[in-house]
């Protein structure tokens, strides 16, 4: 997840900045950036869905966890997730290579997916796969998290532990739900362009921040601030930083002013 999100943010931010600076980019260069961005964006919801299944096995079937969640099977699951993400969208490149002339890849366009992969069939294909991915991830999200939530309530006798488990589950659910917005954001962006035709850049910027940036900011909260060791050091050093800032702000009192 960390490597995937780092690649995704690096590629999308670079593409976003270059589009604002140069406006139009070379088609071949744009194809590479778009495909990497699409692969890594699709990867995040599927990876979180796999993590949801892993947590379901760990909490609801702990005796079978060691046999099911082995290192070899984990590597196989990661490879399967990448294959599912790459296979449907790499066909866009093959179709474009077959239908467009070689000179097209020497042109410069505003780097959007619909400007590079222009075949109408590809648009319908993307919509079908988005619906399939959205439905599959949503079903996994609802089924696993509800079972984990009920198991946490039933097995935990400590109300504090049960509350922490519920909060963690809700945070993971929120992160996965925000990542799933990437499946419907293209359709929403088209509708917003029709409603607000003069606000294309603002809509695209807001869509990028909400769909691609904010879900990645939840990972430090879930895996950082909620970690007991990290919070221990945070509580240890944060008051010192505040006290130093307070000392700097307080001006020294001179005897002459008394």
Task: Specify the pLDDT at position 257.
Answer: 43
**Assigned domain for 94 exists:** yes
Distance between CA atoms of residues 11 and 34, nearest Å: 8
CATH number at residue 227: 1.20.1070.10
**Assigned domain for 11 exists:** yes
Task: Specify the pLDDT at position 254.
Answer: 46
**Assigned domain for 248 exists:** no
pTM confidence score: 0.72
Distance between CA atoms of residues 26 and 105, nearest Å: 7
How large is the C-alpha radius of gyration of the chain? 24
Q: Pick the residue with more confidence: 256 or 68?
A: 68
**Assigned domain for 244 exists:** no
Task: Specify the pLDDT at position 55.
Answer: 78
**Assigned domain for 50 exists:** yes
Distance between CA atoms of residues 185 and 193, nearest Å: 12
- Per the prediction, the chain carries an average pLDDT of 77
**Residue ranges making up the domain that contains 199:** 2-231
The total of structural domains in the chain comes to 1
Percent of the chain at pLDDT exceeding 70? 80
**Assigned domain for 167 exists:** yes
Long-range contacts of 169-173 (CB under 8 A, 24+ apart): 169/145, 171/218, 171/221, 171/222, 171/226, 172/48, 172/51, 172/52, 172/55, 172/145, 172/222, 173/141, 173/145
**Assigned domain for 254 exists:** no
**Assigned domain for 93 exists:** yes
The string of pLDDT tens digits covering residues 24-58 is 888 888 888 888 888 888 888 888 788 878 878 88
**pLDDT at residue 258 greater than cutoff 60:** no
The string of pLDDT tens digits covering residues 125-161 is 887 887 888 788 888 878 887 887 777 777 655 556 5
The string of pLDDT tens digits covering residues 191-243 is 887 888 777 778 878 888 887 777 777 666 666 666 677 777 777 777 665 55
Task: Specify the pLDDT at position 48.
Answer: 79
């Amino acid at each position: 997840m960390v490597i995937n999100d780092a690649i995704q943010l690096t590629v999308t931010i670079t593409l976003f900045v270059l589009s604002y600076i140069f406006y139009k980019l070379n088609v071949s260069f744009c194809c590479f950036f778009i495909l990497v961005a699409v692969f890594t964006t699709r990867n995040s919801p599927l990876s979180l869905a796999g993590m949801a299944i892993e947590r379901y096995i760990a909490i609801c079937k702990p005796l079978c966890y060691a046999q099911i969640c082995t290192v070899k099977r984990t590597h196989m699951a990661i490879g399967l997730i990448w294959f599912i993400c790459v296979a449907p969208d790499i066909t866009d490149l093959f179709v474009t290579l077959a239908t467009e002339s070689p000179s097209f890849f020497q042109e410069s366009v505003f780097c959007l997916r619909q400007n590079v992969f222009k075949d109408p069939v590809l648009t319908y294909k993307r919509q079908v796969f988005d619906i399939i991915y959205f439905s599959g991830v949503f079903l996994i999200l609802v089924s696993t998290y509800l079972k984990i939530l009920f198991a946490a309530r039933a097995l935990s006798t400590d109300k504090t532990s049960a509350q922490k488990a519920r909060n963690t589950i809700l945070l993971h659910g929120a992160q996965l739900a925000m990542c799933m917005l990437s499946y419907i954001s293209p359709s929403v962006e088209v509708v917003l362009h029709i409603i607000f035709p003069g606000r294309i850049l603002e809509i695209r910027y807001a869509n990028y921040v909400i769909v691609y940036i904010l879900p990645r900011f939840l990972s430090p909260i879930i895996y950082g601030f909620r970690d007991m060791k990290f919070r221990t050091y945070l509580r240890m050093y944060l008051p010192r930083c505040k006290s130093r800032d307070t000392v700097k702000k307080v001006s020294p009192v001179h005897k002459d002013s008394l």
